[in-house]
Amino acid sequence: MKDELRRAVDTIPGLVWSALPDGTMDFLNQRWCDYTGISLGEASGVGWQAACHPEDLPRLIDFWRSLLDTSRPGEFEARLRRYDGTFRWFLIRAVPLCDEGGRVLKWYGQNTDIEDRRQAEALLAGEKRLLEMVAVGRPLPAILDALCTLVDQVGSGCHCSILLVDRGGAQVRQAAAPSLPADFSRAIDGRPVAAPYWGPCAMAIDRKTQVIVADVAEDTRWDRFEWCELVLGVGLRSCWTTPILSQAGAPLGTFAIYQREPGAPTPTQLDLIEQFTHLASIAVERAHAEDALRRSQAQLARAQRLSTTGSFSYRAATDDLTLSEETCRICGFDPLMPVPPGAMRDRIHPDDLPLFLGMLRGLGKQFEFDCRVQLPDGTIKYLQVVADAVRDDAGHLVEWVGAIRDITERKLSEDALHEMRSELAHVTRVASLGALTASIAHEVNQPLSGIVTNASTSLRMLADDPPNVEGARETARRTIRDANRAADVVGRLRALFKKKNRSVECLDLNDATREVLTLLSTEIHRAKATVRTHLSEDLPLVTGDRVQLQQVVLNLMLNALEAMDTVEDRPRQLVIRTECDEGEQVRLTVEDSGPGFDPKNAEKLFDTFYTTKDEGMGIGLSISRSIVENHQGRLWAVCNDGPGATFGFSIPGARA
């Protein structure tokens, strides 16, 4: 019976032990001895302490003494050395066996391996830190260094290195390698990418495929280069390198793991490598996108200062179109050749042609709109068109005289910003500000473009013989109007995005909502959505921070527009309502016609890092809920009876 019991104890999937009432170890099962490589005789008494990690042993002894003093069960986490010298984390549980009087007769315990759990926890925490660093815009070197450090920590014996391809795509640059010798990193920095390959990292980048060197000393692919000697010289024996690719498949760099022992990665290690490489691609691609956006914006600013604006005239009666040299260049015509009748009409994008023709046939004094032209090679250009009507004494339209401005770079910059915002998914207020850059540019550039055009028109009128003073005066009035429009836009932006501490005031939620709609006008147009507002005329004022409440409204509207992004079989409708709620509450709701959500996940929607989007971060709604709750309010979401969902919040009205 005793032998049978011992066999049963040895079969238990854990390290089982027992101790005398004074804490002296008197039994260890075979699994304990096999794992530590210490025999029962060697481990008896206090010999078991030799298997404990030196950093954990003092705390473990104090924990054990506290259990002996209190005669209570307990558990403790510590590292135990395996027979091969490797330390792994264990959960150590101890339970006393007491007689009827409460006196301890014996202690029984079990040590459970929790190394995988500890690594998973460390990995999850590390990923969270990395994503937060990306979200708040930390410098790329700091993010990559933190990523390598995380890999070194969770991967026993690993030395992580990240190389990035330079802007020209011909060389690699050492971006991060915190645990590798500096001389090693300097020797690799600046190496070429193209074949013949100096090492596996160059091959991985050029071929866009993972390269595994299980044993550097035995791999003959790099014999003609000094890479093997370099790696072996710092005590490394294996290298697993994976290309970091953009979403479009372009190589950005490599993620490499070096080890001091030869070997190939296990399936679990391959999964981790894929996960870490994806994190690196997110960080690198975002940094590249931000850099490209900054460079594009700088180029756009210079172009706005230096570029000229083309002019045109059009006689509807004869279909006679006259284009300036600059307009010909913009629209892809040869300035030295006459433009054939109907040629300009053929260049207008089919989707914009009805609007273009409608403007030319209009009865107003002027028109202003944006449209696209499609060049013979398929290139699409975005144009801003402004024109004034010239009429005879009887008031009949003689011709349209106007200007065309190429705004393609501005539109591309707006699209780049929109793509980056969608990928990283609205994680902070700063992200919301970035999401509105396109709208801000649109709102400000329209009146500024009008000022430039009106000034040019006024100069031409004054240069006429005789001068067209009345026309110049009217143009000057439009210039003043556009300048005031620009000033109003800047004023609203300063009021909304000024950096300041939380400020409580009485405010009209309807006015605050209208300001957000104005800022989102470009995003709404881009999303091809229609907006219906039902703003209660007798809505009470509310007390709160205007900027924070507008941030909540902004986030709900942006989420609604994104939810309808894939809707093609029905109108994309955005309905904004304000009304009085029960108990002197003021309520605002945002209703969309998107796909909606699973009602079972209604409460999870507001949890931090929970998201239903493929590229979402799950932070925006959590922040919004915190803001609303700080205003003694409530934020909720419900599914519509038809398609879509409704998000809303209510806060107390201001007390008289």
Strand partners, 45: 25
CA 204 to CA 208: how far, in whole Å? 5
Determine the distance from the C-alpha atom of residue 105 to the mean position of all C-alpha atoms in its chain, rounded to a whole number: 60
CA 59 to CA 467: how far, in whole Å? 95
In a domain, 615, yes or no: yes
376 preceded by cis ω (within 30°)? no
User: Is the same domain home to 323 and 402?
Assistant: yes
By C-alpha distance, which of 366, 161, 420, 385 is closest to 273?
Answer: 161
Give the three-class secondary structure for 175.
strand
Q: Structurally, how many domains does the chain consist of? A: 4
In a domain, 212, yes or no: yes
User: Is the same domain home to 79 and 143?
Assistant: no
For helices 437-463 and 509-519, give the axis angle rounded to 10 degrees: 70
Phi, psi of 62 (to 5 degrees): -60, -40
Give the three-class secondary structure for 313.
strand
What number of residues does the chain have? Answer: 656
User: Is the same domain home to 469 and 528?
Assistant: no
CA 607 to CA 601: how far, in whole Å? 10
User: What does the pLDDT look like over 64-122, one tens digit per residue?
Assistant: 999 999 999 999 999 999 998 888 889 999 999 998 888 999 999 999 998 888 877 87
User: Is the same domain home to 579 and 535?
Assistant: yes
User: Is the same domain home to 222 and 136?
Assistant: yes
Q: How would you label 255-288 residue by residue, b for 16+ Cβ within 10 Å and e otherwise?
A: bbbbbeeeeebeeeeeebbeebbebbbbbbbbbb
Write down the pLDDT at residue 272: 86
In a domain, 298, yes or no: no
599 secondary structure, DSSP code: G
Low-confidence ranges of the chain (pLDDT < 70): 1-8, 10-11, 297-308, 362-364, 416-450, 452-454, 481-482, 484-503, 608-619, 656
CA dihedral (476, 482, 487, 490) positive or negative: negative
CA 476 to CA 461: how far, in whole Å? 11
User: Is the same domain home to 289 and 161?
Assistant: yes
CA 589 to CA 578: how far, in whole Å? 7
Phi, psi of 372 (to 5 degrees): -115, 145
Write down the pLDDT at residue 422: 39
User: Is the same domain home to 109 and 133?
Assistant: no
* Pairing of the two strands 573-581 and 530-535: parallel
In a domain, 184, yes or no: yes
Give kind and range of the element (H or E) at residue 395.
none
- Domain containing residue 410: 312-497
User: pTM of whole model > 0.85?
Assistant: no
Write down the pLDDT at residue 443: 53
How many secondary structure helices (H) and strands (E) does the chain include? 21, 22
Q: How would you label 165-176 residue by residue, b for 16+ Cβ within 10 Å and e otherwise?
A: beeeeebbebbb
Write down the pLDDT at residue 74: 93
CA 419 to CA 421: how far, in whole Å? 5
Q: What percent of the chain has pLDDT over 90?
A: 23
Boundary (domain end) residue, out of 497, 530, 551 = 497
User: Is the same domain home to 67 and 171?
Assistant: no
In a domain, 303, yes or no: no
User: Is the same domain home to 190 and 218?
Assistant: yes
By C-alpha distance, which of 186, 158, 179 is closest to 259?
Answer: 158
Write down the pLDDT at residue 623: 75
CATH number of the CATH domain containing 55:
3.30.450.20
User: Is the same domain home to 469 and 617?
Assistant: no
Place of tokens 């507002």: 533
Boundary (domain end) residue, out of 58, 85, 113 = 113
Boundary (domain end) residue, out of 55, 78, 113 = 113
In a domain, 305, yes or no: no
Write down the pLDDT at residue 526: 82
336 secondary structure, DSSP code: T
Give the three-class secondary structure for 458.
helix
Write down the pLDDT at residue 456: 74
Write down the pLDDT at residue 387: 87
In a domain, 483, yes or no: yes
In a domain, 436, yes or no: yes
User: Is the same domain home to 155 and 185?
Assistant: yes
* Pairing of the two strands 505-507 and 542-544: antiparallel
Place of tokens 């315990």: 109
User: What does the pLDDT look like over 142-154, one tens digit per residue?
Assistant: 999 999 998 888 7
- Cβ atoms of residues 193 and 202 within 8 Å: yes
Write down the pLDDT at residue 388: 87
Write down the pLDDT at residue 656: 57
By C-alpha distance, which of 349, 348, 289 is closest to 321?
Answer: 348
User: Is the same domain home to 437 and 522?
Assistant: no
Measure Cα distances from 493 to 444, 516, 648 in Å: 10, 10, 24
CATH number of the CATH domain containing 267:
3.30.450.40
Half-sphere exposure of 149 toward its Cβ, with a 13 Å CA cutoff? 11
